[in-house]
Amino acid sequence: MLVWLFGSFGVLLAIGVPIAVCLGLAAILALVMTGTNVSLIVAAQTMFNGVNSYSLMAIPFFILCGNMMSGGGLSKKLVDFIKIFLGRIKGGLSIVTIVASMFFAAISGSCPATTAAIGGVMIPEMNKTGYDKKFSAATAAAGGIVGQIIPPSIPMVTYAVLAEVSVSTLFLTGFGPGILLGLLMMGYAYYYSRKNNVPVIDIKISGKIIWEGFKDSIWALIMPVIILGGIYSGLFTPTEAGAIAAVYGFLVGMFVYKSLTLEKLPKIIVDTAVASSVIMLIMGTVATFNYVLTIGQIPQIIANSLLSLTTNKYIILILFNIVVLIAGMFMSSSAAIALLTPILLPILTSVGINKYLIGIIFIVNMGIGMITPPVGNCLYVACNIGNIKFEPLVKATMPYVWVSIIGLLMITFIEPISMFLVYLIGAPM
């Protein structure tokens, strides 16, 4: 069964079959070719049960919320306010890009959405000011990876459902790593700007300017408070928070900022439906794939094989990072998490690694995968916005990749970076 399952999956993936179809067909082929007595009707039922989850309903709501925010002009309001404080320092606009991405991450839950929203505003602004085009696009792409680390996060919801852990508790683990990566990126941006004598923009600062900027951006700034405050105060669940955030984004974009028009709504809804359906299809087919894994006892076989070689917790963590980082370079976050969680989770928990720490390491690795070729979704978004070729952008982004890997290693081996809020609040584990 192991050979048929992974062999057919690898062949299908190699010939360009979409990942969701690969997972489903590989599972069915393994059932048929190994002569199991399992009816294919059971496979279909398993697929349905894979998406029949209340927690998964949060995904389309958060995607819709991010699209509403982008279309409603909230990203520009955030940028303009942050620019007042950081614009005058060396490399200020690049630092503004990263800080704005961190704020927008608490709204969108998606790396490409964060890159598109903030990069769409900041890349032209940096280019106009005299920044190198490649550096501008690289900074926007790198800033985007915090989109799925700082909660709410769509991949976090996916992992929480598969690992059977609390979504709201997993959200708590994202703040420390997201802030850490943001600070490391800002450090590199500042170093690059001083080394290359990047121009400083002249921005007047006064109490009146700060107040006007605050009033203009207040509707965008309170969005994370509504989402996260509502969740952790117990007013609503993460799924309900997504729905409320989407409605809030619509009302603010339509009636406050008036950047969201009725003409934009059909495209926003269609984009949301397409993105959501892809994730849901993956979750459905991966449920069937995981079912075959279970009846074939494949995770146990792999776990026993690895643990016979080493039971050292730190070596296993290093191997885990390598496997997941490589997977993130070739697969989308949701697909990689869905495929690898049932295989790797038993191995990691058997040596005493916390499920929530495993989850955030997964998410950070997937974020780094967003700025590494060949998949690198954030890179392609930044290419389109910055109107530059892919290869030069990859080269310009590599320093951000290396600082992110440093951050990943710190998150992996210094548990309190991720878990301190969980322990502080006493969130359910």
Using one digit for the tens of pLDDT, what is the confidence trace for 271-309?
A: 888 888 888 888 888 888 878 877 877 777 777 777 888
Q: Is the pLDDT of residue 209 over 90?
A: no
Distance CA 382, CA 191 (A): 22
pLDDT of residue 43: 76
**Residue 251's pLDDT band (boundaries 50, 70, 90)?**
confident
> What share of residues in the chain are helix, strand, coil (percent, to 5)?
80, 0, 20
d(CA 178, CA 216): 26
CB 292 within 8 A of CB 30: yes
Torsion 366-372-375-379 (CA) sign: positive
Residue-level pLDDT at 387: 86
Q: What tens digit of pLDDT does each residue of 37-89 get?
A: 767 777 788 888 878 877 788 888 888 887 887 776 677 788 888 888 877 78
Give whole-number Cα distances, 35 to 240, 286, 417, in Å: 44, 21, 48
pLDDT computed for residue 137 by the predictor: 93
Phi, psi of 110 (to 5 degrees): -140, 135
In this predicted structure, the answer to whether residue 180 has a pLDDT above a threshold of 90 is: yes
Least confident range of 70-74, 183-187, 300-304, 385-389: 70-74
Report pTM. Answer: 0.85
At 310 the three-state DSSP class reads: coil
pLDDT at 35 over 80: no
* d(C-alpha 274, C-alpha 287), whole Å: 20
